[in-house]
Protein backbone atom coordinates (compact mmCIF):
# COMPACT_ATOMS: atom_id res chain seq x y z
CA UNK A 1 0.00 0.00 0.00
CA UNK A 2 1.35 3.45 -0.96
CA UNK A 3 4.48 1.84 -2.35
CA UNK A 4 5.32 0.08 0.92
CA UNK A 5 5.12 -3.58 1.91
CA UNK A 6 3.38 -4.82 5.04
CA UNK A 7 3.49 -8.40 6.23
CA UNK A 8 0.70 -10.18 8.08
CA UNK A 9 2.32 -13.21 9.71
CA UNK A 10 -0.82 -15.30 9.94
CA UNK A 11 1.02 -18.38 11.21
CA UNK A 12 2.11 -16.49 14.32
CA UNK A 13 -1.27 -14.83 14.68
CA UNK A 14 -3.24 -18.05 14.43
CA UNK A 15 -1.71 -20.73 16.64
CA UNK A 16 1.19 -21.45 14.32
CA UNK A 17 -1.08 -22.71 11.56
CA UNK A 18 -0.21 -22.17 7.92
CA UNK A 19 -1.63 -23.23 4.57
CA UNK A 20 -0.46 -25.28 1.63
CA UNK A 21 -0.77 -24.45 -2.05
CA UNK A 22 -2.32 -27.37 -3.91
CA UNK A 23 -3.46 -26.34 -7.42
CA UNK A 24 -6.96 -27.53 -8.20
CA UNK A 25 -6.03 -29.45 -11.35
CA UNK A 26 -3.44 -31.41 -9.38
CA UNK A 27 -5.98 -32.22 -6.67
CA UNK A 28 -8.35 -33.59 -9.33
CA UNK A 29 -5.58 -35.61 -10.99
CA UNK A 30 -4.43 -37.10 -7.71
CA UNK A 31 -7.93 -37.98 -6.53
CA UNK A 32 -8.80 -39.58 -9.87
CA UNK A 33 -5.55 -41.56 -9.89
CA UNK A 34 -6.13 -42.90 -6.38
CA UNK A 35 -9.76 -43.74 -7.12
CA UNK A 36 -9.10 -45.47 -10.45
CA UNK A 37 -5.60 -46.94 -10.10
CA UNK A 38 -5.45 -47.74 -6.39
CA UNK A 39 -9.08 -48.54 -5.63
CA UNK A 40 -10.35 -49.86 -8.95
CA UNK A 41 -12.93 -47.14 -9.41
CA UNK A 42 -14.85 -46.59 -12.64
CA UNK A 43 -14.70 -43.12 -14.23
CA UNK A 44 -16.39 -42.24 -17.53
CA UNK A 45 -14.69 -39.38 -19.38
CA UNK A 46 -16.01 -37.23 -22.24
CA UNK A 47 -19.65 -38.17 -21.82
CA UNK A 48 -22.51 -36.09 -23.25
CA UNK A 49 -26.27 -35.73 -22.93
CA UNK A 50 -26.24 -36.36 -19.19
CA UNK A 51 -29.74 -36.40 -17.69
CA UNK A 52 -31.04 -36.94 -14.18
CA UNK A 53 -34.27 -38.82 -13.57
CA UNK A 54 -36.62 -39.20 -10.58
CA UNK A 55 -34.40 -37.24 -8.18
CA UNK A 56 -37.30 -36.85 -5.76
CA UNK A 57 -37.79 -40.62 -5.53
CA UNK A 58 -35.85 -43.26 -3.62
CA UNK A 59 -34.55 -44.65 -6.91
CA UNK A 60 -33.03 -41.79 -8.94
CA UNK A 61 -31.02 -42.55 -12.06
CA UNK A 62 -28.57 -41.06 -14.55
CA UNK A 63 -28.37 -41.53 -18.30
CA UNK A 64 -25.61 -40.39 -20.67
CA UNK A 65 -23.85 -41.01 -23.95
CA UNK A 66 -20.26 -42.20 -24.10
CA UNK A 67 -17.71 -40.79 -26.51
CA UNK A 68 -18.46 -43.64 -28.94
CA UNK A 69 -22.17 -42.79 -28.95
CA UNK A 70 -23.35 -45.69 -26.80
CA UNK A 71 -25.99 -44.89 -24.19
CA UNK A 72 -25.79 -45.96 -20.55
CA UNK A 73 -27.95 -45.78 -17.47
CA UNK A 74 -27.04 -45.89 -13.80
CA UNK A 75 -29.66 -46.62 -11.14
CA UNK A 76 -28.66 -45.39 -7.70
CA UNK A 77 -29.83 -44.38 -4.26
CA UNK A 78 -28.29 -40.90 -4.23
CA UNK A 79 -26.73 -38.52 -6.76
CA UNK A 80 -23.84 -36.21 -5.85
CA UNK A 81 -23.81 -33.21 -8.17
CA UNK A 82 -20.25 -31.89 -8.32
CA UNK A 83 -20.34 -30.73 -11.94
CA UNK A 84 -20.00 -26.98 -11.42
CA UNK A 85 -22.29 -23.98 -11.74
CA UNK A 86 -23.09 -24.69 -15.40
CA UNK A 87 -23.49 -28.44 -14.92
CA UNK A 88 -26.63 -30.46 -15.41
CA UNK A 89 -27.31 -31.32 -11.76
CA UNK A 90 -28.14 -27.82 -10.47
CA UNK A 91 -30.31 -27.19 -13.54
CA UNK A 92 -32.20 -30.43 -12.91
CA UNK A 93 -33.78 -29.06 -9.73
CA UNK A 94 -37.34 -27.81 -10.45
CA UNK A 95 -37.79 -24.05 -10.52
CA UNK A 96 -38.66 -22.67 -7.10
CA UNK A 97 -37.59 -25.79 -5.21
CA UNK A 98 -34.51 -24.07 -3.80
CA UNK A 99 -33.50 -20.47 -3.13
CA UNK A 100 -30.60 -18.98 -5.05
CA UNK A 101 -28.72 -15.96 -3.69
CA UNK A 102 -26.47 -14.00 -6.07
CA UNK A 103 -24.26 -10.94 -5.82
CA UNK A 104 -22.18 -9.14 -8.46
CA UNK A 105 -19.24 -7.33 -6.88
CA UNK A 106 -18.78 -4.92 -9.80
CA UNK A 107 -15.14 -6.02 -10.16
CA UNK A 108 -13.29 -8.14 -12.68
CA UNK A 109 -9.84 -9.69 -12.64
CA UNK A 110 -7.51 -10.63 -15.43
CA UNK A 111 -6.09 -14.00 -14.38
CA UNK A 112 -2.63 -14.82 -15.73
CA UNK A 113 -0.68 -18.08 -15.54
CA UNK A 114 2.97 -17.86 -16.54
CA UNK A 115 5.98 -20.13 -16.73
CA UNK A 116 7.86 -17.93 -14.30
CA UNK A 117 9.50 -18.83 -11.01
CA UNK A 118 7.82 -17.14 -8.02
CA UNK A 119 9.26 -13.72 -7.29
CA UNK A 120 8.59 -14.24 -3.60
CA UNK A 121 7.93 -17.05 -1.15
CA UNK A 122 4.81 -15.27 0.10
CA UNK A 123 1.45 -14.34 -1.37
CA UNK A 124 1.28 -10.69 -2.43
CA UNK A 125 -1.90 -8.61 -2.39
CA UNK A 126 -1.11 -5.17 -3.83
CA UNK A 127 -3.39 -2.14 -3.61
CA UNK A 128 -2.48 0.43 -6.27
CA UNK A 129 -4.28 3.59 -7.45
CA UNK A 130 -4.87 1.81 -10.78
CA UNK A 131 -6.36 -1.24 -9.08
CA UNK A 132 -5.52 -4.47 -7.30
CA UNK A 133 -2.71 -6.82 -8.33
CA UNK A 134 -1.92 -10.25 -6.92
CA UNK A 135 1.00 -12.66 -7.09
CA UNK A 136 0.22 -16.24 -6.07
CA UNK A 137 2.70 -19.12 -5.85
CA UNK A 138 1.90 -22.27 -7.81
CA UNK A 139 5.13 -24.26 -8.19
CA UNK A 140 8.88 -23.74 -8.51
CA UNK A 141 8.42 -22.85 -12.18
CA UNK A 142 4.85 -21.53 -12.50
CA UNK A 143 3.18 -18.47 -10.97
CA UNK A 144 -0.36 -17.08 -10.98
CA UNK A 145 -1.04 -13.34 -11.21
CA UNK A 146 -4.17 -11.21 -11.03
CA UNK A 147 -4.92 -7.69 -12.24
CA UNK A 148 -8.07 -5.72 -11.48
CA UNK A 149 -9.46 -4.62 -14.83
CA UNK A 150 -12.50 -2.59 -15.92
CA UNK A 151 -15.82 -4.39 -15.96
CA UNK A 152 -16.54 -5.82 -19.43
CA UNK A 153 -12.84 -5.73 -20.35
CA UNK A 154 -11.54 -8.47 -22.66
CA UNK A 155 -8.38 -10.57 -22.87
CA UNK A 156 -7.71 -9.08 -26.31
CA UNK A 157 -6.96 -5.75 -24.63
CA UNK A 158 -4.11 -7.33 -22.67
CA UNK A 159 -1.16 -8.37 -24.84
CA UNK A 160 1.71 -9.93 -22.90
CA UNK A 161 3.82 -6.78 -22.88
CA UNK A 162 1.01 -4.76 -21.31
CA UNK A 163 0.38 -7.49 -18.71
CA UNK A 164 3.98 -7.47 -17.49
CA UNK A 165 4.18 -3.68 -17.56
CA UNK A 166 1.05 -3.36 -15.42
CA UNK A 167 2.15 -6.09 -13.00
CA UNK A 168 5.53 -4.40 -12.53
CA UNK A 169 3.88 -1.05 -11.90
CA UNK A 170 1.40 -2.34 -9.35
CA UNK A 171 3.63 -4.86 -7.55
CA UNK A 172 7.09 -3.32 -7.36
CA UNK A 173 7.96 -1.31 -4.29
CA UNK A 174 9.57 2.04 -3.66
CA UNK A 175 13.14 2.04 -2.28
CA UNK A 176 13.50 -1.69 -2.94
CA UNK A 177 15.57 -3.82 -5.28
CA UNK A 178 12.79 -6.44 -5.51
CA UNK A 179 11.98 -7.35 -9.10
CA UNK A 180 9.18 -9.30 -10.71
CA UNK A 181 10.30 -12.52 -12.40
CA UNK A 182 8.78 -12.88 -15.86
CA UNK A 183 8.25 -15.77 -18.26
CA UNK A 184 6.04 -17.14 -21.00
CA UNK A 185 2.35 -16.49 -20.37
CA UNK A 186 0.38 -19.69 -20.96
CA UNK A 187 -3.10 -18.59 -19.90
CA UNK A 188 -5.11 -15.37 -19.71
CA UNK A 189 -8.80 -15.11 -18.85
CA UNK A 190 -11.24 -12.65 -17.33
CA UNK A 191 -12.80 -13.58 -13.97
CA UNK A 192 -16.20 -12.16 -13.13
CA UNK A 193 -16.12 -11.54 -9.39
CA UNK A 194 -19.47 -12.85 -8.24
CA UNK A 195 -20.98 -14.85 -5.42
CA UNK A 196 -23.80 -17.38 -5.55
CA UNK A 197 -25.34 -19.75 -2.98
CA UNK A 198 -28.06 -22.39 -3.32
CA UNK A 199 -30.24 -23.15 -0.27
CA UNK A 200 -30.71 -25.92 0.58
CA UNK A 201 -27.82 -27.74 -1.07
CA UNK A 202 -29.99 -30.76 -1.86
CA UNK A 203 -33.33 -31.63 -3.40
CA UNK A 204 -34.78 -35.07 -2.95
CA UNK A 205 -31.88 -37.49 -3.29
CA UNK A 206 -29.72 -35.06 -5.29
CA UNK A 207 -26.96 -33.41 -3.24
CA UNK A 208 -25.01 -30.46 -4.65
CA UNK A 209 -21.32 -29.96 -3.91
CA UNK A 210 -18.75 -27.30 -4.73
CA UNK A 211 -19.50 -24.81 -7.49
CA UNK A 212 -22.82 -26.51 -8.22
CA UNK A 213 -23.95 -25.27 -4.80
CA UNK A 214 -21.90 -22.12 -4.22
CA UNK A 215 -19.64 -19.73 -6.13
CA UNK A 216 -17.17 -17.59 -4.20
CA UNK A 217 -14.65 -15.04 -5.41
CA UNK A 218 -10.98 -16.12 -5.56
CA UNK A 219 -10.27 -13.54 -2.85
CA UNK A 220 -9.34 -15.56 0.22
CA UNK A 221 -8.89 -18.75 -1.82
CA UNK A 222 -11.76 -20.70 -0.24
CA UNK A 223 -13.51 -22.25 -3.24
CA UNK A 224 -11.74 -25.60 -3.30
CA UNK A 225 -11.66 -25.78 0.49
CA UNK A 226 -15.45 -25.46 0.60
CA UNK A 227 -15.89 -28.11 -2.10
CA UNK A 228 -13.69 -30.59 -0.25
CA UNK A 229 -15.60 -29.89 2.96
CA UNK A 230 -18.89 -30.59 1.15
CA UNK A 231 -17.48 -33.91 -0.09
CA UNK A 232 -16.26 -34.89 3.36
CA UNK A 233 -19.60 -34.13 5.01
CA UNK A 234 -21.60 -35.96 2.34
CA UNK A 235 -19.26 -38.98 2.30
CA UNK A 236 -19.54 -39.34 6.08
CA UNK A 237 -23.33 -39.09 5.83
CA UNK A 238 -23.55 -41.72 3.08
CA UNK A 239 -21.27 -44.14 4.90
CA UNK A 240 -23.30 -43.74 8.07
CA UNK A 241 -26.55 -44.32 6.19
CA UNK A 242 -25.37 -47.44 4.35
CA UNK A 243 -23.82 -48.96 7.48
CA UNK A 244 -26.57 -48.19 9.98
CA UNK A 245 -29.58 -46.80 8.12
CA UNK A 246 -29.22 -43.54 10.06
CA UNK A 247 -30.32 -40.59 7.88
CA UNK A 248 -29.27 -37.89 10.35
CA UNK A 249 -26.15 -36.90 8.39
CA UNK A 250 -28.07 -36.71 5.12
CA UNK A 251 -30.78 -34.53 6.65
CA UNK A 252 -28.22 -32.15 8.18
CA UNK A 253 -25.86 -32.06 5.17
CA UNK A 254 -27.04 -28.73 3.81
CA UNK A 255 -27.22 -27.01 7.18
CA UNK A 256 -23.68 -28.09 8.15
CA UNK A 257 -22.15 -27.07 4.82
CA UNK A 258 -24.00 -23.77 4.53
CA UNK A 259 -22.68 -22.54 7.89
CA UNK A 260 -19.15 -22.73 6.50
CA UNK A 261 -20.20 -21.44 3.06
CA UNK A 262 -21.76 -18.25 4.41
CA UNK A 263 -18.86 -17.69 6.78
CA UNK A 264 -16.45 -17.91 3.83
CA UNK A 265 -18.65 -15.63 1.75
CA UNK A 266 -18.58 -13.00 4.48
CA UNK A 267 -14.78 -13.13 4.69
CA UNK A 268 -14.45 -12.97 0.92
CA UNK A 269 -16.68 -9.89 0.82
CA UNK A 270 -14.62 -8.32 3.63
CA UNK A 271 -11.44 -8.79 1.61
CA UNK A 272 -12.95 -7.71 -1.71
CA UNK A 273 -14.02 -4.43 -0.15
CA UNK A 274 -10.59 -3.92 1.43
CA UNK A 275 -8.17 -4.58 -1.42
CA UNK A 276 -9.94 -3.08 -4.44
CA UNK A 277 -10.34 0.41 -5.69
CA UNK A 278 -14.02 1.20 -6.11
CA UNK A 279 -15.35 3.53 -8.82
CA UNK A 280 -17.02 5.34 -5.93
CA UNK A 281 -14.36 7.41 -4.07
CA UNK A 282 -16.17 7.10 -0.73
CA UNK A 283 -16.04 3.30 -0.86
CA UNK A 284 -12.39 3.36 -1.89
CA UNK A 285 -11.52 5.43 1.16
CA UNK A 286 -13.47 3.06 3.39
CA UNK A 287 -11.55 0.12 1.93
CA UNK A 288 -8.25 1.89 2.55
CA UNK A 289 -9.30 2.59 6.15
CA UNK A 290 -10.03 -1.10 6.62
CA UNK A 291 -6.59 -2.01 5.26
CA UNK A 292 -4.86 0.55 7.47
CA UNK A 293 -6.70 -0.88 10.47
CA UNK A 294 -5.58 -4.39 9.51
CA UNK A 295 -1.97 -3.21 9.49
CA UNK A 296 -2.19 -1.26 12.75
CA UNK A 297 -4.49 -3.44 14.82
CA UNK A 298 -3.51 -6.79 16.30
CA UNK A 299 -7.13 -7.81 16.70
CA UNK A 300 -7.91 -7.00 13.06
CA UNK A 301 -4.83 -8.92 11.90
CA UNK A 302 -5.90 -11.83 14.09
CA UNK A 303 -9.35 -11.83 12.49
CA UNK A 304 -7.72 -11.94 9.06
CA UNK A 305 -5.36 -14.77 10.04
CA UNK A 306 -8.12 -16.89 11.57
CA UNK A 307 -10.29 -16.61 8.48
CA UNK A 308 -7.50 -16.85 5.89
CA UNK A 309 -5.84 -19.95 7.34
CA UNK A 310 -8.71 -21.45 9.27
CA UNK A 311 -11.52 -23.63 7.91
d(CA 68, CA 157): 40
pLDDT at residue 106 in the model: 87
Q: What is the mean pLDDT of residues 113-128?
A: 90
Mean pLDDT of the chain: 91
Domain ranges of the chain: 44-98+200-269, 105-192
Q: Please give the Cα distance from 238 to 250 (Å, whole number).
A: 7
Question: Which one has a higher pLDDT value, 51 or 105?
Answer: 51
Mean predicted confidence (pLDDT) in 26-46 = 92
CA–CA gap between residue 216 and residue 50 (Å, rounded):
26
Q: Does the pLDDT at position 299 exceed 80?
A: yes
- Of 5-19, 263-277, 293-307, minimum mean pLDDT range: 5-19
CATH topology of domain 105-192: D-Amino Acid Oxidase; Chain A, domain 2 (3.30.9)
The pLDDT tens digits for 242-298 are 999 999 999 999 999 999 999 999 999 999 988 887 778 888 888 889 988 988 888
Q: What is the 3-state secondary structure (H, E, C) of the chain?
A: CCCCCCCCCHHHHCCCCCCCCCCHHHHHHHHHHHHHHHCCCCCCCCCEEEEEECCCCCCCEEEEECCCCCEEEEECCCEEECCCCCCHHHHCCCCCCCEEEEEEEEEEEEEEEEECCCCCCCCEEEEECCEEEEEEECCCCCEEEEEEECCCCCHHHCCHHHHHHHHHHHHCCCCCCCCCCCCEEEEEEEEEEEEEEEECCEECCEEECHHHCEECCCCCCCHHHHHHHHHHHHHHHHHHHHHHCCCHHHHHHHHHHHHHHHHHHHHHHHHHHHHCCCCCHHHHHHHHHHHHHHHHCHHHHHHHHHHHHCC
pLDDT digits (tens, 9 = 90+) for 75-120: 999 999 999 999 999 999 999 999 999 999 889 999 999 999 999 8
Say whether pLDDT at 186 is over 90: yes
Burial of 93 (0-12, 13-18, 19+ CB in 10 A): buried
* Band of pLDDT at residue 174, cut at 50, 70 and 90: low
Q: Given 3.40.50.300, 3.50.50.60, 3.10.20.30, 3.40.50.720, which CATH number is that of 44-98+200-269?
A: 3.50.50.60
The pLDDT-based confidence of 22 (bands split at 50, 70, 90) is confident
- The predicted structure's pLDDT at residue 232: 97
Length of the chain: 311
- Range with the poorest average pLDDT among 48-52, 90-94, 156-160, 190-194: 190-194
pTM above 0.75, yes or no: yes
Amino acid sequence: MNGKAYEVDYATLYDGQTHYIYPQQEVVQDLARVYVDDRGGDVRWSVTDVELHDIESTEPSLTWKNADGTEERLDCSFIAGADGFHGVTRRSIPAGAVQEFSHQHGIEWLSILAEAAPSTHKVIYALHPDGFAGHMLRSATVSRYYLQVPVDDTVDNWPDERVWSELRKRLELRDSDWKLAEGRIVEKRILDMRSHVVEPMNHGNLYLLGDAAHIITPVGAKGMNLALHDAEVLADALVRYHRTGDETGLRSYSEICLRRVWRAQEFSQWMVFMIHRSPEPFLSRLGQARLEHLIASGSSAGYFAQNYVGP
